[in-house]
Structures are given as C-alpha cells and as structure tokens.
Amino acid sequence: MQELINIFVKAIFVENMIFAYFLGMCSYLAVSKKVDTAVGLGAAVIFVLGITVPVNYLLENYVLKEGALSWLGPQYANVDLSFLSFILFIAVIASMVQLVEMVVEKFAPALYGALGIFLPLIAVNCSILGGSLFMQERNYNTIGEATIFGLGSGVGWFLAIVAIAAIREKIRYSNIPAPLRGLGITFIVTGLMGIAFMAFMGIKL
C-alpha cells in the first residue's frame, strides 16, 4: 500500500508531466485561457491516462516484451516484439479514446457534454503516449502500480493546467511589454512554476 502511495505522490509532484518532462505542452498552452475549459481538459486527461496506461501495461507484459509470449507455448519464449511498441501503444490510445468517447456519450451524457470536445484532442496529447512509454521504461511490477502511476501523472497534469489557467486569467490585467503578451509571458510563467516545482526534486519516497 505504501508503495502505491509513493508512486502516486511521486507522479504528481516530483515527476510532474509538465514541469519535469514538458509533456502535453501543446494543449497545455492552447487550452489554458480559461479555468473552466482547463478543468474539463484536465479531467479528460486523468480519465484517459488511467485507462490507457494499464491496458498498455498488459500489452507490454503479455505480448511485446522479450519472453512475454511464453504463455502461448515454449517455442515463443524467445520472441521479442518490443520494436512494435510505439505503433501498438498509439493504436491502443487512439482506439481507447474513440471507445471512451462512445461509452461516455451513451451512458453519461452530462459528462460527455463537459468532456466531449476535448476527447479527440487527447489522442495526440504527448502526455498520454508519454505515460505509456515511461511505464515501459520504468518496469512497474504490478498492474496496480501502473494504474496508480497513470492516474498520478494525470492529476499532476490537471494541477498544472488549472494553475496556469488561473494565472493567465489574472495576468490579463497586468501591463506586459507588447511583444511578450500572450505566448511569451506564458512560457516564462511556466518556467518559473517549473523552478518552484523543482523544490520537490530529490525527495526520496
């Protein structure tokens, strides 16, 4: 249990998707003008990361890894399909997003109203594929750990985008040099927030 909490907290703060790895910056910069929309996109990211990371974990451990196919029979024990991981991961993500969109539309129309327009955007959000690739690189032991890692990364991303959206709503009233307005100042503010988040670095959990 303690191990799971460690992974969760680490994924949110120490290895924050935005501030430590810059993943999902494109939608982070494009959809952070208002807090409401930022909350919608952030929730959709948590949701999709929480689903795709465990699915890709199963794929990695039962299909792709060297020796992962040994459940088919001893003659498959040496097959190593890991070079296919990019294409399979992205296919899983694209189809999961499509599936999630349809299921949510059918069973939770209210949620669909809130998340609907963001779901297609998410297939090409780097943080989703990044979550799966980090999961592969860090070799988590159980599917529980992988799921918690996915959810934690999503929560970290959510926090980051809501924070920057709130700052951008306020910053509109400040007197910024004209060439820095909009994109420039957003970059610099994100950089300063990143420096603040670096205080979490080196914390051993």
Partner 1 sequence: MAEATETLEKQKKQSEPLFGKKNRRLISDPLNDNNPITVQVLGICSALAITVKMYPALVMSLSVLFVMGAGNVIVSLMRNLIPNRIRIIVQLVVVASLVILVDQVLKAFVYDVSKELSVFVGLIITNCIIMGRFEAFALTNKPWKSFLDGVGNAFGYAWILLAVAFFRELLGSGTVFGLQIIPDSWYLDAGGFYSDNGLMLLPPMALITVGVIIWVQRAKNSKLIEED
CA distance 28 to 52: 20
Compute how many residues bind partner 1; rule: CB under 8 A.
50
Interface residues for partner 1 in 118-157 (CB under 8 A)?
120, 123-126, 128-130, 133-134, 137
Q: How far is the CB of 104 from partner 1 (least distance, A)?
A: 18
Q: Which two tokens stand for residue 12?
A: 């949110």
| Residue 80 zone, left/alpha/beta (φ > 0; ψ -120 to 50; rest) | beta
Q: Which two tokens stand for residue 109?
A: 């129309």
Q: How far is the CB of 43 from partner 1 (least distance, A)?
A: 20
Q: Is 180 in the site for partner 1 (CB under 8 A)?
A: yes
DSSP string, 107-129: H-HHHHHHHGGGHHHHTT-HHHH
Q: Which of 7, 11, 14, 23 binds partner 1 (CB under 8 A)?
A: 23
Closest residue by Cα to residue 70 from 80, 82, 58, 84:
80
Q: Which of 3, 5, 26, 99 binds partner 1 (CB under 8 A)?
A: 26
Q: How far is the CB of 90 from partner 1 (least distance, A)?
A: 5
Is 53 within 8 Å of 146 (Cβ atoms)? yes
Q: Is 73 in the site for partner 1 (CB under 8 A)?
A: no
Interacting residues with partner 1 (CB under 8 A): 19-26, 29-30, 83-87, 90-91, 94-95, 120, 123-126, 128-130, 133-134, 137, 172, 177-188, 190-195, 198
